Amino acid sequence: MRRAAEAVAVRVQLNKVMTASATDGEPGVPTILCGDLNDGPDAVTTTLLIGPSDGDIDRPDKGDPVRLYNLGPLLPTGRAYSRIYQGRGELIDHILVSRDLRLRVASVDNLVDDIGSITECTDTRRPATVPDHAPVIARFHA
């Protein structure tokens, strides 16, 4: 419940920021929200941050000024994760972008090559020098 409340609070701020400079349904300032959300792409918290669903990215609609797009689905096949927990890849680190940026994505990838699987036991991670999360990286066309 706490994560959902935090997501709602962030969503309220996103709505303010993203609509402040928007005009006639057109998005305002390009927006990127990224980080460790500790939840998967379909979790309630993540979908709250994304905002209204979109039927067609190529046709602007009234939801565009506050909608974000998760770039996770653009990760290369077999690399759609940012952490390995008990041998299973999980995508819990996300890049969410406004429509104008989503249309300009050149590539999305992550640095999963050096991460290992973790377990519930945090003691095994104490001496680690490599993070247990892989950064997700997006490049955009100018």
> Domain segments of the chain: what residues?
2-140
Query: Do 71 and 50 meet the contact criterion of CB atoms below 8 Å apart?
Result: no
User: pLDDT tens-digit profile of 73-122?
Assistant: 999 999 999 999 999 999 999 999 999 999 999 999 998 888 888 888 87
Which sign does the torsion angle of CA 33, 34, 38, 41 carry? positive
Give pTM, 2 decimals: 0.88
Of 8, 31, 30, 28, nearest to 20 by C-alpha is 28
Cα 33 vs. chain centroid, distance in angstroms?
A: 7
d(CA 22, CA 14): 12
User: pLDDT tens-digit profile of 40-55?
Assistant: 999 999 999 998 887 7
